[in-house]
Amino acid sequence: MTAPTPPTPPTSLAAAWRARVRADPGRVALSHRGRRWTAAELDADATALAAALAGRGVGPGDRVALHLQNVPAFPLALLALWRLGAVGVLANPMYRDRELHHLLADSGAVGVIASTTDLDALGEAAAGTDVDWWLGVADEDPTLGDVVGEHVGALVAEHESALHDVALLTYTSGTTGPPKGAMNTHGNVLATVERYAAWIELTEDDVVYAAAPLFHITGAVASAALALAGGATLALSGRFDPADAVRTIEAEAATFTIASITAFHAIEQVEWAERRHLESLRAAYTGGAPVPQASLDRFRERFGIAIHNAYGMTESTSAVIAVPLGVAAPVDPASGAVAIGRALPGVGVEVVTDAGSPAAPGEPGELVLSGSQVVPGYWRNPEATARTMPEGRLHTGDVVVADADGWIYLVDRLKDQINVSGYKVWPREVEDVLYEHPAVHEAAVVGRPDDYRGEAVVAHVVLAAGHQATPEALIAHARARLAAYKAPREVHLVADLPKTATGKIRRDDLRE
């Protein structure tokens, strides 16, 4: 008897989506504020949108900017663009003027899909670029209903993209210069979807709540592509709002979400939220910044949910390292860092010392990544590609420690290290101690130039609702738990901390 032939792996995201639609066309694929689309319905709408875009001249390789929050038009646009062999350029919807102009000019985008409320304000940003058209998404109908309705039933030739073709152009935050466009290929995204879906044991019965913004690599890949290509349901609720998040998780019986730790902190501040509202979640992950053990403990004690760490970058097409589901992450005894996890299958991980040699277990060094999730380079920027990804090895700029059992601990960013009288101080270690104080909601530590010490440790703290603490009390708390040179010399109590659109605290702004 001849063994059955195993299914051929998809060579593009469009092919993966087609296979999902064929397998179960009647299963819900997308939800947004009570409205649901089956896979067949979403496919029909995406095909109609593809016809509309093709009518505007969009074809294989063309770039189209998506300047949107987490609304149905976003996944619809991705599916339509991938059907045409075109590229989705992920644009932060808070970008205006110079920031948006750079992205449009650098990417060579031919068109922009944006909220109708933003169109007038965005016009000047496209001056001198290749943008030829704009498509508005109305707040009252974020499904592109009018455009889709005009093209229902239209036939569209589907372009067969290859694994090496670019699917997403995702711009880095630009902390070391102008933002660079990472070329996330179909192969990159499919590799992440396959590996991460297996890691979190994703099934067709899962509901993925997109807490992270879809215009960021985490939302686009570890939420949208994961659900769409992985056979699950993608649940959206617009721009992240903690109360909305709690309501949506309960209403949609969401089973998985991934978000910055600040998003989970914000959910904790929803006074009426109880365990029953989040009881459907079987897997919750966070990434983007080192996470203090106190934050993980506090969330678990209140909601009964263990938040698992994950690590990824724009250039690694989201998650490449994660804590296995249901496993408690160990804590590095030397640094106090909570493990960010183990490498996903197929991900190459090296820890390299300043001298360029492999670090021994327990020895800190720069994290270097390789494998099919690492992008081939930056868009039209061979110099930056050669500098950051020599020979395809991604130098992350993150300092980590790996132990003999394969656990990886994120110490901090190389550039964030503070030098106090010749001693190295990692901001994360000080922040972890501050988070242990019951009055601390958020904390960020930076170095300030100091004539005597070289740099002084300075903390910025947001107090938890209903709690009080003086700067002196917080300094004393830190001094009781840290070496004297590590304790902050100053603590500033602030109403909030500057953050990126994905909730990552911007230490650069605090240094300035």
pLDDT at 200: 97
What CATH number is given to the structural domain containing 171? 3.40.50.12780
Answer whether residue 236 is part of any domain: yes
Confidence of residue 221 (pLDDT cuts 50, 70, 90): very high
Spatial distance between the Cα atoms of 213 and 501, rounded to a whole number of angstroms: 8
pLDDT for the residue numbered 237: 97
What region does 466 belong to: left with phi over 0, alpha with psi -120 to 50, or beta? left
Length of the chain: 512
- This prediction's pTM: 0.86
326 and 427 fall within a common domain: no
175-192 residue pLDDT tens:
456 889 999 999 999 999
> In sequence order, what are the beta bridge partners of 113?
66, 135
| Arithmetic mean of pLDDT, 319-348 | 93
DSSP 8-state secondary structure symbol assigned to residue 323: P
297 shares a domain with 438: no
- Report the number of distinct structural domains present in the chain: 2
CB 499 within 8 A of CB 460: no
Q: Which domain holds residue 180?
A: 13-331
* Same domain (yes/no): 107, 219: yes
Question: Cα-flanking dihedrals φ and ψ of residue 308, to 5°?
Answer: -100, 140
Quick one: pLDDT at residue 485? 83
Q: Is residue 392 part of a domain?
A: no
76-132 pLDDT, tens per residue? 999 999 999 999 999 999 888 888 999 999 999 999 999 999 998 888 899 999 999
Same domain, 33 and 164: yes
> What is the pLDDT averaged over residues 281-290?
88
Asked whether the predicted pLDDT for residue 4 surpasses 60, the reply is: no
Helix (H, G, I), strand (E, B) or coil at 169: strand
Rounded percentage of the chain residues whose pLDDT exceeds 70: 96
What digits encode the pLDDT tens for the residues 32-43?
999 999 999 999
CATH number assigned to the domain comprising residue 467: 3.30.300.30
CA nearest to 283, candidates 194, 203, 190, 195: 203
Task: Please give the average per-residue pLDDT across 58-72, as a whole number.
Answer: 98
pLDDT at 1 over 70: no
Tens of pLDDT, residues 406-431: 999 998 776 787 878 666 787 888 99
Residue environment code for 264-300, b if the CB has 16+ CB neighbours within 10 A, otherwise e: bbbbbebeebeeebbebbebbbbbbbbbbebbbebbe
What is the reported pLDDT for 175?
47
pLDDT score for 499: 86
Provide the pLDDT for residue 415. 75
Interstrand relation of 181-185 and 166-171 (parallel, antiparallel or unpaired)? antiparallel
User: Which of the listed residues 331, 363, 395 is the one where a domain comes to its end?
Assistant: 331
Query: Cβ of 356: how many Cβ atoms within 10 Å?
Result: 8
Whether residues 194 and 307 share a domain: the answer is yes
What pLDDT digit, counting tens, does each position of 228-256 carry?
Answer: 999 999 999 999 999 999 999 999 999 99
Is residue 502, in this structure, part of any structural domain at all? yes
In a domain, 241, yes or no: yes
Report the relative pairing of strands 339-343 and 348-352 from DSSP bridges: unpaired
From 274, 301, 331, give the residue that closes a domain: 331
Tens-place pLDDT, residues 9-25: 899 999 999 999 999 99
Q: Are residues 453 and 313 in the same domain?
A: no
Dump pLDDT digits (tens) for 307-325: 999 999 999 999 999 999 9
Reported confidence tier of residue 2, pLDDT bands at 50, 70, 90:
low
**Do 320 and 431 reside in the same domain of the chain?**
no
Judge whether 309 and 287 are in contact, CB under 8 Å: yes
Domain match, 238 and 102 both: yes
- pLDDT tens-digit profile of 460-495? 999 998 999 999 999 999 998 888 888 999 999 999
Residue 355 domain-assigned?
Answer: no
Q: Domain boundary residue among 283, 314, 331? A: 331
Q: Which two tokens stand for residue 469?
A: 């603490």
Q: What is the pLDDT of residue 454?
A: 74
Q: Which long-range contacts (CB under 8 A, 24 or more apart) does 292-299 make?
A: 292/338, 292/428, 292/431, 292/432, 292/435, 292/436, 293/331, 293/336, 293/338, 293/432, 294/432, 294/435, 294/436, 295/261, 295/264, 295/265, 295/435, 296/338, 298/268, 299/264, 299/267, 299/268
Decide: residue 471, CB within 10 A, 0-12 exposed, 13-18 middle, 19+ buried: middle
Is the same domain home to 127 and 29? yes
- Report if residue 443 sits inside a domain: yes
Q: Phi/psi of residue 510, each to 5°?
A: -70, -35
The predicted model gives 376-404 an average pLDDT of 95
Residue 501 counted as domain residue? yes
Please report whether residue 242 resides in a domain. yes
Same domain, 290 and 437: no
326 and 421 share one domain = no
Half-sphere exposure for 54 (CA within 13 Å, toward CB): 20
pLDDT of residue 312: 95
Are residue 469 and residue 322 in the same domain, yes or no?
A: no
